[in-house]
Amino acid sequence: MKKALSIILSLIMVLSLSVIAFAEEITGDGSSPEQTADSIVKTQTVNERGEDVTSFTVTYPAETTIPWGKTDAVDVAYTINSQLLFNKRLKVSVAKKDGEDAMKGSAGNDATLAYTLDGDVNVTTEEAAVSGLSKAATVAVAQDAWDAAPVDTYQSNLTFTVEVVSA
């Protein structure tokens, strides 16, 4: 046990000798009352564990419901949070899944319900660091589409695509 302790203490002593080698010095001849020097303080782009700290989150609803017959646009609201490198931005795109033009009825119903997707469907943040930026894509069903569809539960998927792009 004593040998192990002496080896550990010797290693600590040897490693502490390098601290002085990296130190800066202020020297003078005493003719000036004041001497100054700079010491650099800087950050890293990784945390203490060496992991990349850039991150983003886009929060959107898993489901949005449209009342039967509603012709006003319905918001599909989403929120953006990002902390990226200074020269990067977050781009969010919202699109109809696989280019679908209409919502599909439940099993056994071949009818479709046409809808439009508008609003904030292509957004690129203006800054690298964004907190709580609220946006909304809008879904609307025209009156003639409602009139042509038998009553049923229709649904379609929206695809959110998020990518980090250069500023």
Region label for 57, one of left (φ > 0), alpha (ψ between -120 and 50) or beta (otherwise): beta
Is residue 39 in a domain?
no
Location of structure tokens 């898993």: 62
The whole domain housing 71 covers 55-166
The CATH number of whichever domain residue 94 belongs to comes to 2.60.40.1090
Q: Specify the range with the lowest mean pLDDT, choosing from 66-70, 77-81, 104-108.
A: 104-108
Which pLDDT does position 31 carry in this prediction?
Answer: 74
Is 15 among the domain residues?
Answer: no
> How many domains does the chain divide into?
1
Amino acid at 131: S
Residue with tokens 């469907």: 121
- Phi-psi group of 105: left, alpha or beta (phi > 0 → left; psi -120 to 50 → alpha; rest → beta): beta
Rounded percentage of the chain residues whose pLDDT exceeds 90: 71
- Does residue 43 fall inside a structural domain? no
Residue 5 within a domain: no
3-50 pLDDT tens trace: 777 777 676 776 666 555 567 787 777 777 787 888 899 989 888 999
